[in-house]
Amino acid sequence: MAKKNQKMVSEITAMDVDFAQWYTDIVKKAELISYTSVKGCMVIRPYGYAIWERMQQILDTRFKETGHENVNMPMFIPESLLQKEKDHVEGFAPEVAWVTYGGSEKLEERLCVRPTSETLFCDHYADIIHSYRDLPKLYNQWVSVVRWEKTTRPFLRSREFLWQEGHTIHATAEEAMEETVRMLNIYAEFCEKSLAMPVVKGQKTESDKFAGAVSTYAIEAMMHDGKALQAGTSHYFGDGFAKAFRIQFAGKDNKLTYPHQTSWGVTTRLIGAVIMTHGDDNGLVLPPAVAPIQAVIVPIAQHKQGVLEKAEELYEALREKGIRVKLDDSDNTPGWKFAQYEMKGVPVRIEIGPKDIENHQCVVATRYNGEKQTVALDTAYAALCDMVAELLEQKIPAGMFAKALENRRNKTYVCTSMDEITKALEEHGDGFVEAMWCGDEACEDQVKEKTGVGSRCMPLEQRHISDTCVCCGKPAKHMVLWGKAY
């Protein structure tokens, strides 16, 4: 067993040696996914899917609290429907999968497998919205979508991925804009509180917005290696889709008006974000809110009298407290178990052995910082339960968030010239660059071409860094967050 332990640990590539390989090792070794015979598609295994289920539950509750209802649209979109909004079809048609046969019969019109569902929702809105009384509609669906990517990576970019897509329609532009920002804030709050992952809220530049949107907002997170990951988006559509799909409603004055729309989504990519934000050379590090197992009890010398009984008592006490706890009484060695649950990112490990029992104590280790504490055991284990609950609810998420924020601070470079950007990246490695921009797409392209970092977003919290565009020297309009993206 000791051998197996060593083998398992040695098989993970160190982060600093090869971050990409480290990532791939973790998704496989922590049993999050399996590759399949279907190129670019993966099996999400029980441990990976349980993380997604936790994310779904937290987000779904927030969506419902804010008045949204779940629905389910077909997965197929007839080609003619996809083509109704010009920008939208241009953006998506090159990367969709086409169904051309049903059984042995060729279809009269080919159908694409949804890459996103704006067109289907619009088709439905046109059917059900007639009066101001029918508005707003606040819809969401949990489904999978397909985009025919050339290069794929588990969770980060796959041909099929799971997501939720919110779609709402409102009587006024103001309401729709409020909704766009509300959902961006809910995503940010979810990432920061439940995933312990700091994010920057911002608006995408024109060149980077969603196909068919008036404006796109996003949350951008920094991964451990200094690269950026877009963790969620929220789009404001104005009435463009409504016009293309002839969705109109009669107002109180009986005049026909076009309603305003939004859409917003997060995906299983968030699992990749969690891995790359918090993981280390021992494997995954999970935020307690989405950890399938929050605490694991590892008995030491479990063959000795009283050890397993005591371990079971702790298990029962923690379970009663509402903690997702596991007791591993398998015949693997404690060392193997330590490595295994570290690999799986379980936030808290509790060790209990004969000496601990003698001293009425146990040992509590926290995964994200490796700290160990000895805890006295009172008769009902109340002190232990309270301490573990406090770790899971407060100390660990706060500590993980602070650690990630520290990484982001260390790798954020404020620059006022192209040379400064190049120098900062060369000296400190990949990171976020904060620099001013004139608003001209040519400058945006040039920054990317010359320094390698593209515009991630124009942060909602704008700061004044300098008066002029970092590229052309003309008057600056926006502070932009630049970075290399996943």
Closest to 324 measured CA to CA, from 46, 50, 138: 50
What's the closest the beta carbon of residue 100 comes to a copy of itself, in angstroms? 5
Q: Which residues have a Cβ under 8 Å from the Cβ of 18 and sit 6 or more positions away?
A: none
Tell me the β-bridge partners of 105.
Answer: 102
Q: 């530049």: which residue's tokens?
A: 205
What's the closest the beta carbon of residue 148 comes to a copy of itself, in angstroms? 4
C-beta of 139 vs 236, nearer to a copy of itself: 139
Asked if 319 and 325 count as a contact pair (C-beta separation under 8 A), the reply is: yes
Closest to 217 measured CA to CA, from 205, 206, 233: 233
Tell me the β-bridge partners of 168.
Answer: 138, 262
Asked if 461 and 205 count as a contact pair (C-beta separation under 8 A), the reply is: no
Beta strands per DSSP E along 122-239: 137-146, 160-170, 200-203, 215-222, 228-238
What's the closest the beta carbon of residue 409 comes to a copy of itself, in angstroms? 36
Count, residues near a copy of itself per rule CB under 8 A: 55
C-beta of 69 vs 441, nearer to a copy of itself: 69
Per-residue contact track with a copy of itself, 336 to 375, x per CB under 8 A? ----------------------------------------
What's the closest the beta carbon of residue 81 comes to a copy of itself, in angstroms? 5
C-beta of 70 vs 359, nearer to a copy of itself: 70
- Burial (Cβ within 10 Å: 0-12, 13-18, ≥19) of residue 206: exposed
Q: Which residues have a Cβ under 8 Å from the Cβ of 62 and sit 6 or more positions away?
A: 186, 190
C-beta of 71 vs 402, nearer to a copy of itself: 71
Using CB under 8 A, pick the residue from 146, 218, 274, 447 that binds a copy of itself: 146
C-beta of 133 vs 255, nearer to a copy of itself: 133
Asked if 228 and 456 count as a contact pair (C-beta separation under 8 A), the reply is: yes
Using CB under 8 A, pick the residue from 127, 253, 427, 461 that binds a copy of itself: 127
Using CB under 8 A, pick the residue from 26, 55, 81, 221 that binds a copy of itself: 81
What's the closest the beta carbon of residue 34 comes to a copy of itself, in angstroms? 6
What's the closest the beta carbon of residue 205 comes to a copy of itself, in angstroms? 25
What's the closest the beta carbon of residue 137 comes to a copy of itself, in angstroms? 9
What 8-state DSSP symbol labels residue 126? H
Q: Measured between alpha carbons, how far is 32 from 34 in angstroms, rounded to an integer? A: 7
- Other CB atoms within a 10 A radius of the CB of residue 276 amount to 24
Q: Which stretch binds a copy of itself (CB under 8 A): 136-144, 272-280, 315-323, 443-451?
A: 136-144
What's the closest the beta carbon of residue 108 comes to a copy of itself, in angstroms? 10
Using CB under 8 A, pick the residue from 37, 151, 254, 305 that binds a copy of itself: 37
What's the closest the beta carbon of residue 35 comes to a copy of itself, in angstroms? 8
C-beta of 119 vs 205, nearer to a copy of itself: 119
Per-residue contact track with a copy of itself, 83 to 112, x per CB under 8 A? ----------xxxxxxxxxxxx-----xx-
Using CB under 8 A, pick the residue from 8, 15, 62, 78 that binds a copy of itself: 78
CB neighbour burial string for 76-114, b if at least 16 within 10 angstroms, e if fewer: ebbeebbebbeebbebbeeebeeeeeeeeeeeeebbbbb
The tokens for 301 are 């010398």
> Taking CB under 8 A as the rule, does residue 322 contact a copy of itself?
no
What's the closest the beta carbon of residue 389 comes to a copy of itself, in angstroms? 23
Distances (CA, A) of 221 to 57, 115, 252, 272: 22, 23, 44, 11
Q: Which residues have a Cβ under 8 Å from the Cβ of 473 and sit 6 or more positions away?
A: none
Q: 């860094």: which residue's tokens?
A: 465
| Binders in 1-30 for a copy of itself, by CB under 8 A | none
CB neighbour burial string for 392-409, b if at least 16 within 10 angstroms, e if fewer: beebbbebbbebbeebbe
The rounded Cα 212 to chain-centroid distance in angstroms is: 23
Per-residue contact track with a copy of itself, 38 to 77, x per CB under 8 A? x--xxxxxx--xx-xx---------------xxxxxxxxx
Give the binding site for a copy of itself (CB under 8 A).
34-38, 41-46, 49-50, 52-53, 69-78, 80-81, 93-104, 110-111, 113, 120, 123-124, 127-128, 139, 143-144, 146, 148, 159-160, 162
